Amino acid sequence: MHNIPEKINPFIEVDTSLSLVKIGKSLDKTPSLYSDTVINLDKTFHKSSNKFFTETNNNVKIECKTQNNQIDNNSIFLLIIPILLSLWILTISFSKIQGAFKSLFNNRQVSIFMRNYNVKSYFSTYLIYFTSAINIVFLLWVWFLQNNSDLFSIRYLLLHKIIFLIFLYFIYRYVLIFIFEKIFKTADATNEYVYRDYFTKAVFAIIFPFLTFITAYSPYKTITWSFILFFAVLLIISRIYNSIVVGFKEKTYGLFYFILYICTVEIVPVLFLIKILSKYIST
């Protein structure tokens, strides 16, 4: 026996208010999301069978801020410059660099190096000093950006100011050293100092460009900065200690000259430089 289909009445009335209420309640649990940095929750009303329900009752704007990296990817090209200079130095003067590493803590090697090389006559010497200055610039630049994120918006202006101050410091330092040589007639002591300073700068120019690059992008910044600080202090102490021992042992200069040198060449300009640069951290 076949079922007879019911007659379809196109004018039948169906109450759909209950289903609309259910849909409205489900919408109340799922606010609308927009693919933007702002989530906007607007008030929306629906009406069914003289009853009101809302999609949400809040009118809130939630701003999603993205944080800039302190060292962006564009800076990688700048930080590679000291590394390339370091590799160039190794290529053109490997034997002198090797001798500088040996002479850093060995007075016997210092005498051998001074007999074999006249550092003032080599192009690599000036390249070493230039690389050292550039690396100090980038080392300070990275440190400031990592300790004050507000400087990121003016990072290149900050870089220009650091370059100016560091090169001004280098010019002041070495001009003053040779002025002291003429005033106090300490040619031998100055020559000894130049070699000691050369050894320190050579080690710095070869090792620190790589440490600066690693520190800029390393997740373990505390460890890398601690190592850099320890190594830098070790180099400075080594240079000053050797200058004291050699100077007083061989009586190449007196106590007054040494105090004047320490104050005007080593301490005062460094303190002045720190004072100028520290304002970027406090702002």
Question: Same structural domain for residues 96 and 59?
Answer: no
Question: Same structural domain for residues 137 and 258?
Answer: yes
Let me know if residue 123 belongs to a domain: yes
Question: Same structural domain for residues 192 and 247?
Answer: yes
Let me know if residue 1 belongs to a domain: no
Question: Last residue of a domain, which of 63, 94, 121?
Answer: 63
Confirm if 140 and 162 have CB atoms less than 8 A apart: yes
Question: Same structural domain for residues 40 and 168?
Answer: no
Beta bridge partners of 52: 47
**What is the pLDDT at residue 192?**
81
Question: Same structural domain for residues 178 and 132?
Answer: yes
* Rounded (10°) angle between helices 76-92 and 94-103: 90
Let me know if residue 59 belongs to a domain: yes
- State the total domains in the chain: 2
Question: Last residue of a domain, which of 34, 63, 92?
Answer: 63
Question: Same structural domain for residues 31 and 157?
Answer: no
Radius of gyration (Cα) for the chain, nearest Å? 35
Question: Same structural domain for residues 51 and 79?
Answer: no
Domain with 48, as residue range(s), is 17-63
Let me know if residue 6 belongs to a domain: no
In sequence order, the 6+-apart residues with CB closer than 8 A to the CB of 243 are 192, 193, 196
Let me know if residue 28 belongs to a domain: yes
**What is the pLDDT at residue 243?**
66
Task: Give whole-number Cα distances, 18 to 23, 44, 47, 52, 56, in Å.
Answer: 9, 19, 12, 12, 19
In sequence order, the 6+-apart residues with CB closer than 8 A to the CB of 46 are 20, 24, 52, 53, 54, 55
Question: Same structural domain for residues 52 and 154?
Answer: no
**What is the pLDDT at residue 252?**
55
Amino acid residing at 45: F
Let me know if residue 11 belongs to a domain: no
Terminal-residue alpha carbon distance, the chain: 93
**What is the pLDDT at residue 236?**
82
Question: Same structural domain for residues 40 and 127?
Answer: no
Per-residue pLDDT of the chain (283 residues; tens, 9 = 90+): 555 555 555 555 555 555 555 555 555 554 444 444 445 545 554 555 555 445 555 555 444 444 444 567 778 899 999 999 999 999 999 999 999 999 988 878 988 999 999 998 999 999 999 999 999 999 999 998 998 888 888 889 989 999 998 998 899 888 888 887 888 777 877 788 889 889 999 999 999 999 999 999 888 989 999 999 999 889 888 877 776 666 555 555 555 566 666 677 777 777 777 777 676 555 5
Enter the pTM of the model: 0.69
Q: Which of 274, 75, 273 is nearest to 155 (CA)?
A: 75
Question: Same structural domain for residues 106 and 175?
Answer: yes
Let me know if residue 47 belongs to a domain: yes
d(CA 82, CA 206): 9
Question: Same structural domain for residues 224 and 243?
Answer: yes
Let me know if residue 7 belongs to a domain: no
Question: Same structural domain for residues 37 and 81?
Answer: no
